[in-house]
Chain A
Amino acid sequence: MISRFLKSREALLAGAIVLLTILIAIRFPAFVSAANLVRVFNDTSILIILALGQMMVILTRCIDLSMAANLALSGMVVAMLNAAMPGIPVPALIALAIAVGAILGAFNGIFVWKLNIPPIVVTLGTLTIFRGLVFVLSGGAWVNAHQMSDAFKAFPRAVFFGLPVLSWVAIFIVVLMTVLIGRTALGRAFYAVGGNPTAAVYTGIDVGRTRFVAFTLAGALAGLSGYLWISRYAVAYVDIAGGFELDIIAACVIGGISIAGGIGSVGGAVLGALFFGVIKNALPVVNISPFWQLAISGAAIILAVAFNARAERRRGRIILRQSEAAS
């Protein structure tokens, strides 16, 4: 068990993150203070949630480019609703954000399921459509901090046992996903559908519907992230999380989730996101110009994918093994 973990991608990635943190800590001990680590985790929470959503989709051999746009649209819907009717309780708004996100995700899923359109085309289209709808909905206007109710803004910030609710939500989602992916038929179906779609049919799994469910769940997580994002930064506008879809995919790739489907783990996605989080937060601290960040994450993606591909490279079946051993 333990030795199996030590040999896994997750262990390697975890090691890389620890090493990176230690290196930073040598020069800036404050970086590893409990408070700062909590801050880094909190800052990465939304990326973790989104990466877990994207992971489900990628596991089924699909891809969702529209997650960030979905986040913006669901976020804008609840922000505007909150601004217009501050009386609506926050839990209802959170539920609404999740529902809107799920509907948008289902919209992607239905095209993939019923019309068999390649996911990349569908979500490339919905990426611009969702983003455009945010503009149409808001008329391009911002929803500012003072227009949001205090309860709306307070939720992700409230601290329990030393951690903000935002972090708790991420932890909750991680636990939920661990159970879903590891212990339910649906979770295992994601692996089956992505790993070998033909064999999945032989097993009685409806490939299209499983993909649809993955898109819907990913959409729901994007919706949740939409609320968390705007309440955390206390502002909503058309461009929020612009370009974030690629960060999400990058976190998955760094976390060892194979773009070809069927390979990946919750731990990998979380670590992939954390890797991003540490880098993003460390750069200003170690006084490297923020302009380096993009290049560093690019290099990390390339290294990660090259590394994972090497680990995945089929060892070839060895016909000669038995006879070699015999002689």
Chain B
Amino acid sequence: QDDVKIALVVKALGIGFFEAAHEGAKEAAEELGGVEIIYTGPTDTTAEGQIEVINSLIAQNVDAIAVSANDRDALVPTLKKAMDRGITVISWDSGVAPEGRQMHLNPSSNALIGEMCVKMAAEHLPEGGGDVAILSASATATNQNIWIEEMKKVLPNYPGVNIVATVYGDDLADKSYREAQGLIQSYPDLKAIIAPTSVGIVAAAQAVTDAGKAGEINVTGLGLPSEMAGHVESGASKSFAIWNPIDLGYSATMIAYNLATEKAMAEPGAEIPMGRMGSVKLDDNNEGAMAEPFVYDASNIDDFKDIF
């Protein structure tokens, strides 16, 4: 009996978040036994790069592909081809359009993430609220846009939060940094920056520190404890959230395994087991959420900063 080959395709190699997910995948593989994990992805975050990678995975006849997509639509034809050749395809983290995958695992529910971001910003606003700006990743990233939408939905519940701008840093450190600088410059009353991206939040915190506004402008959003530890310490960021990428990689692998070995079916309403993470329930779009995001602040950051 051959090993079950599960490919974890990420947006780009070298990103701390995905490296952590890889750890989780390896943990799942060990737990399951007889599973080989292929961790791969392009070098920069392009759809074309991912397609090349996926083509070579199809050629290797892997049993399952779990992908965090750079482009919701562009991967569909290739992934369809993979499914036609009997390969289990799921997406996680950043999704693929429904026709290109069997199911999608959201790290958390989009509504929860959106609300969490606004809540973290609101909590540290001065009396009477203030200006808040959003620094997003690439303007084309599916999940970013959904979260921003969700944030805007819950705004009525947080009357103090006044969203003044949304800018895009393309998940490039220098561009994000410059965009954050632009925000600080153009909005003298800015009190918080929400960056729902791990690259953006670090760059924004750095920009705030360099502008001498640490403590004055609170940078929050989604980030990795290892990357944010310094900024929490300096006060540039009061708190931020993230789901645990290790858990995410673990869960995606578990689901891929269960679907590939036909221990579960991906259909609306189905519950697919994910080992120690419990199980995920699929909605009408064959999507499910893993867990709530977890908030990190000065009180707990030290426990996590060396893990991921």
Contact = CB atoms under 8 A, between A and B. Distances in A.
Query: Is chain B in direct contact with chain A in the complex (CB below 8 A)?
Result: yes
Interface of A: 28, 30, 36, 39, 43, 135, 138-142, 144-146, 157, 229, 233-235, 237-242, 280-281, 283-285, 287, 290-291
B43 A239 contact: yes
Interface string B187-221: 01000000000000011001000100000000000
Given A141-B16, A235-B202, A285 B185 contact: yes
Interface string B166-200: 01100011100111011101101000000000000
B174 A233 contact: yes
A322 B179 CA distance: 60
Contact of B173 (A140, A235, A280): A235
A279 to B, nearest CB: 12
Given A39-B185, A140-B13, A241 B179 contact: no
B15 A142 contact: yes
27 contacts: A30-B185, A30-B186, A30-B188, A39-B185, A43-B181, A135-B13, A135-B43, A141-B16, A142-B15, A142-B16, A146-B226, A146-B229, A146-B230, A146-B305, A229-B174, A233-B203, A234-B206, A235-B173, A235-B202, A237-B15, A239-B43, A239-B44, A241-B174, A242-B44, A242-B172, A281-B178, A285-B182
Contact of A285 (B16, B19, B172, B186): B186
B278 interface: no
B86 interface: no
> Taking each of A30, A43, A233, which has the highest tally of chain B beta carbons within 10 Å of its own beta carbon?
A233
Nearest to A285: B186
Nearest to A146: B230
Contacts of B275: none
A281 B182 contact: yes
B178 A280 contact: yes
B227 interface: yes
B14 interface: yes
Given A39-B181, A239-B44, A284 B186 contact: yes
A217 to B, nearest CB: 24
Interface residues of B, number: 33
Contacts of B172: 239, 242
A138 B43 CA distance: 13
A3 to B, nearest CB: 38
B227 A145 contact: yes
Nearest to A244: B174
A313 to B, nearest CB: 38
Contacts of B188: 30
Contacts of A28: 186
Nearest to A30: B185
Contacts of A139: 14
> Taking each of A28, A146, A157, A237, which has the highest tally of chain B beta carbons within 10 Å of its own beta carbon?
A146
A290 B179 contact: yes
A284 B181 CA distance: 9
A233 B210 CA distance: 10
A105 B172 CA distance: 26
Contacts of A36: 185
Interface in B4-25: 12-16, 19
A260 to B, nearest CB: 31
A35 to B, nearest CB: 9
A135 B14 CA distance: 8
A222 to B, nearest CB: 16
B227 A144 contact: yes
Contacts of A240: 173-174
Interface in B111-141: 139
Interface in B219-253: 226-227, 229-231
Contacts of A39: 181, 185
Contacts of B230: 145-146
Contact of A290 (B19, B168, B210): B168
Given A140-B13, A238-B14, A239-B43, A146 B203 contact: no
Contact of A140 (B14, B182, B227): B14
Given A43-B178, A284-B182, A290-B168, A145 B206 contact: yes
A50 B215 CA distance: 35
Contact of B14 (A43, A237, A285, A287): A237
A234 B236 CA distance: 15
B229 A233 contact: no
B173 A233 contact: yes
A233 B206 contact: yes
A297 B227 CA distance: 33
A192 B234 CA distance: 53
Contacts of A30: 185-186, 188
Interface string B43-86: 11000000000000000000000000000000000000000000
B237 to A, nearest CB: 12
A280 B185 CA distance: 14
A289 B206 CA distance: 23
Nearest to A234: B206
Given A30-B186, A237-B15, A240-B174, 20 more contacts: A43-B178, A135-B14, A144-B202, A145-B206, A145-B227, A145-B231, A146-B226, A233-B174, A234-B202, A235-B173, A239-B12, A239-B172, A281-B182, A283-B182, A284-B178, A285-B182, A285-B186, A290-B168, A290-B179, A291-B139
Given A39-B181, A43-B181, A290 B167 contact: yes
A215 B14 CA distance: 30
Contacts of A287: 186
A151 B179 CA distance: 25
A290 to B, nearest CB: 6
A233 B173 CA distance: 7
B270 to A, nearest CB: 35
Contacts of A284: 167, 178-179, 182-183, 185-186
